[in-house]
Each structure stands twice: as structure tokens, then as C-alpha cells.
Amino acid sequence: MAAESSASDAPVVVALGGNTLLGEHGPWTLDQQLAVVEQTAARIAAAVDAGYEVVLTHGNGPQVGNLLLQQEHASETPQLPLDVLVAETQAQIGYLLQQALDNERDAQTDSMTIVTQVVVDRDDPAFAEPAKPVGPFYTEAEAAEKPFETRRVSDGERPFRRVVPSPDPVEIVEADEIGQLVERGNSVVCAGGGGVPVVRGESGLRGVEAVVDKDSTSRLLAEKLGSETLVILTDVAHAYVNYGEDDQRPIRRVGADELRSHLDSGEFGAGSMQPKVEACLQFVEGGGERAIITTPEQLTDALAGDAGTQVYADAPAEDEL
């Protein structure tokens, strides 16, 4: 397939998966984390040098899990709520990313990290049915003693995890400020972990114990910034049909109707590819030009149209690259 036309003036929102960014297997040392962050920064810098204005969002699952584990083993220290831990990891990951980006580009432009709040609806049905697993695994006996809701999420000796609500994002509080930084030419890291979940009340904003899906927040941010392209980076090069089977097949270039039919048939895993596909569909069906699913290694090629799953509102189904 021919490469896409040159980059537009609108920023590209690039969502980095938490496991892709700092590794699924841990705990990692700081030096190991820095090595992965520096590799990621080099790939982002290459896209910027190719003419794309990039706004970065990121996951934080492994990092929040580590903080929850630390809290459980340090009961003499104050136990912080989940919204505060999300804010902590936004600053932690943002600091590492912005420093690596500035070093990679020799401070051609300043990178900025914005601790980002995301408004959710206090009446969102997710609050009545917590389902998002977070934190460490427990035995059944350990889970029964916890002061929070747990659920069996796997097999094995420690199959239980804490579950929390995952409401939909309604508003990004700092969206205007993010847009202003982009207009000034800054590379922005924001909306980490889907943003700090907050609700609006008579006294203003208040944090809530929840986790917002970062792909959904990235889609909302891309719409707010007027982005033409949303990129979701993960650990596989494409979304696949029959993933993990002998006849698995990559989805390369696809229209929304075709991709939604795969989604509705249960093709994508609920805790892995499904939210990424849903965010891509919402973006292109809401007026975005295209959405991409690929790996960090293929970012620049994917932006040029030569790699990854390329999702359009209307396109020939799975046209080969």
C-alpha cells in the first residue's frame, strides 16, 4: 500500500500500553525501566522528526500494582486511595518519559508532563459492578480478609484480585491547557493511566476509587485536540482474527463496519485487545480520520500507512499492505 500523505498540523495522540512501556514481568530495577523508556523515546522522537506532532498518553497498570503491593507491606504508613496512586504514577512515568524525550531530541523542544484529571459520571453503572482487576493476586483465604471487593480472575494458587469500577471518561479537566502546550510546540505527556478519576460536586472536584481505561481517555483527548490520527501501541503488530490459533490472520487496513463485526462476534479479548478496538471504532465513527494499532517499533512506519492495523470509517476490508 502506498504511504500516507505527509503529517498534518493536528497532533497525533499516541497511547503507550503500561506493559509495553515498562514491561509486564517485574519488579524491574530503575535502570531496566530507564532502558525501555529510552527505547520508547527514540521511537517517539523519530516520529516527531518525521513531521508528526505527538501527544503521549500511557498505561500504568504495573506501576499502580507495585504501589498497592508496597502499601500492603508497609501498614504503618498512611494507606493512600487509588486516585492518589494514579496521580503518583502519572508523575513517575511522565518524569522518565519527558527526560528521555528531551535527551533524545537534544532539548529541541521542552517536554511537559501534565497530571491529568478525568471527570466520570457518579451514576455510571460501573460503580455498581466493579470489574477491573488491579494490584496483587491473593489466595481465597487472603481475599476473604481484605477490606475491598475481590474476585476470582484466574486459576492457580492465588487466583483472586481486587476489582474496582472502570467508568467511562466524560471530560478531561486539563484538555485546554494540554492544547495550549501543543500549540507552543511542547511534547506533552498526559492522561496517564486513563487519568485521575474525579467527579464534580457542589464543592468542586473529588477523586474516586476507580480506574479509567486509558484507550478510552486517549480517544476522548484526540477528539478534544482535533486529532486526525489516534495510535494505540501495544505488544503485537496488529489486531488479529483468530488470535493465537493456527489460522490467525492480521487485520491490516479495515473499515469500521468490518472491524465492528469482528468485535461483536467476540474476536477480541475483553482485557486486552477489545478496549483498544472499541476506542479505535469510537474515534473514526466520531469523525476521526484513522486509528492505528501497532507496536512501538513500528510507529513511524504505521503513521506512514505501511504497518499495523489501520482503521478507517470506510475502507476496503483488510486490504493487504
242 is catalytic: no
Residue 292 DSSP symbol: E
Please state, in angstroms and rounded to a whole number, the distance separating the CA atoms of residues 19 and 16: 9
Q: Point out the catalytic residue in the list 17, 193, 276, 308.
A: 276
Q: List the beta strands (DSSP E) in the chain.
A: 12-16, 54-58, 111-114, 117-120, 132-138, 150-152, 160-164, 169-172, 187-190, 196-201, 204-207, 229-233, 239-241, 249-251, 253-255, 290-294, 309-312
Catalytic option among 18, 65, 94, 308: 18
Whether 146 is catalytic is: no
- Peptide bond just before 27 cis, omega within 30 deg: yes
Q: Using N-to-C axis directions, what is the helix angle for 256-264 and 273-285, rounded to 10°?
A: 150
Q: How many CB atoms lie within 10 A of CB 4?
A: 16
Separation between Cα atoms, residue 17 and residue 214, nearest integer Å: 8
Catalytic residue among 132, 186, 192, 308: 132
User: Could you tell me which residues come within 8 angstroms of residue 191 by beta carbon, excluding any fewer than 6 positions away?
Assistant: 57, 114, 116, 118, 172, 214, 217, 218, 221
Question: Do residues 300 and 51 touch, judged by C-beta distance below 8 A?
Answer: no
d(CA 51, CA 9): 9
The b-or-e profile of 157-179 (16+ CB within 10 A means b, else e) is: eebbbbbbbbbebeebbbbeebb
Edge-to-edge strand order for the sheet containing 132-138? 132-138, 160-164, 150-152
Give me the active site residues, please: 18-19, 132, 214, 276
